């Protein structure tokens, strides 16, 4: 478990986190510009650019903040298209998943599209932008655009709880991603991790340690209802969270 004292974070932790952010910001702008300049090139080229950014960021995170990660279940990742259901606790998984599940797109809130550099890059990476609060219209859009990406052989990454949740908390799993799986028949890959214990949401400080991530076996979705798919995926994720969460240890 990371060292999270009751008193304000130590000066060393603060300085190490500052050092990480000092490179992350300009690095992200640089690679976003490279992706923008590569708009006329094949999607594979843009993915290759992002892959370099991810490797540098994860390496820099380990060097500056002492934060590494360990993954079990890589053998469960299929070669073809799939729908990834991932626990969402911090910014870390939005970075790391691009290395673990290459050739992917996200399902993200529409507001991110307008962020300078970062949002523009997401748009060029075929991100599926969903407008929150539109109910059935959002689900219909997810099915239409998600099917296109999957049929192109691209993995679709979904955070089914919809937003970041604190360690030890189970959010409400939303049905949209499961409806996509029901309608398309593509498998669902459940993913659990405890990144929020080391990179807390809304926190400047990153704590040293090793994030544990588990990738589950593909869930067959053919012949199942959306609710059955959602229950199976969320049940597996939360059972793993009970095992890898270190809070209270």
Confidence (pLDDT) at 3: 45
Instruction: Give every strand in the sheet of 128-130, ordered side by side.
Output: 67-72, 209-215, 188-193, 83-86, 155-158, 104-109, 128-130
CATH number of residue 93's parent domain: 3.40.1130
Structure tokens, 207 = 């704590």
The answer to whether the CB of 71 falls within 8 A of the CB of 122 is: no
* % of the chain with per-residue pLDDT over 70: 95
In a domain, 249, yes or no: no
Q: How many CB atoms lie within 10 A of CB 34?
A: 16
Confidence (pLDDT) at 4: 47
In a domain, 29, yes or no: yes
Output the furthest CA–CA distance in the chain (Å, rounded): 55
In a domain, 18, yes or no: yes
In a domain, 3, yes or no: no
Q: Strand, helix or coil at 191?
A: strand
In a domain, 108, yes or no: yes
Q: What is the distance between the alpha carbons of residues 204 and 188, in angstroms, rounded to a whole number?
A: 33
In a domain, 58, yes or no: yes
Q: What is the distance between the alpha carbons of residues 213 and 194, in angstroms, rounded to a whole number?
A: 7
Question: Domain of 80?
Answer: 11-244
Mean pLDDT of 159-182: 94
* pLDDT tens digit sequence for 31-85: 989 999 998 999 999 999 999 999 999 999 999 999 999 999 999 999 999 999 9
Mean pLDDT of 81-108: 94
Instruction: Classify strands 188-193 and 128-130 as parallel, antiparallel or unpaired.
Output: unpaired
Q: Is 154 exposed, middle or buried (0-12, 13-18, 19+ CB in 10 A)?
A: buried
Reply yes or no on whether the pLDDT at 1 is more than 60: no
In a domain, 1, yes or no: no
Query: Would the pTM count as exceeding 0.95?
Result: no
Instruction: Classify strands 188-193 and 83-86 as parallel, antiparallel or unpaired.
Output: parallel
Counted domains in the chain: 1
Q: What is the distance between the alpha carbons of residues 65 and 20, in angstroms, rounded to a whole number?
A: 7
């Amino acid at each position: 478990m990371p060292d999270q004292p009751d008193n304000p974070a130590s000066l060393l932790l603060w300085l190490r986190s500052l050092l990480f952010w000092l490179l992350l910001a300009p690095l992200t702008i640089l690679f976003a510009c490279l992706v923008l300049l590569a708009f006329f090139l094949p999607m594979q080229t843009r993915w290759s650019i992002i892959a370099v950014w991810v490797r540098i960021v994860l390496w820099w995170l380990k060097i500056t903040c002492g934060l590494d990660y360990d993954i079990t279940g890589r053998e469960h990742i299929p070669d073809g298209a799939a729908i990834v259901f991932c626990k969402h606790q911090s910014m870390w998984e939005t970075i790391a998943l691009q290395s673990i599940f290459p050739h992917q797109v996200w399902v993200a809130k529409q507001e991110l599209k307008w962020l300078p550099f970062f949002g523009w890059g997401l748009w060029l990476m075929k991100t599926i932008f969903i407008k929150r609060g539109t109910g059935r219209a959002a689900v219909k859009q997810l099915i239409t655009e998600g099917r296109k990406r999957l049929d192109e052989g691209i993995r679709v990454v979904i955070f089914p709880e919809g937003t970041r949740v604190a360690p030890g908390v189970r959010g409400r799993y939303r049905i949209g991603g499961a409806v996509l799986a029901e309608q398309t028949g593509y498998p669902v890959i459940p993913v659990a991790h405890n990144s929020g214990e080391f990179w807390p949401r809304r926190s400047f400080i990153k704590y040293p340690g090793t994030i544990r991530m588990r990738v589950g076996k593909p869930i067959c979705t053919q012949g199942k209802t959306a609710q059955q798919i959602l229950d199976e995926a969320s049940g597996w994720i939360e059972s793993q969270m009970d095992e890898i969460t270190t809070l209270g240890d």
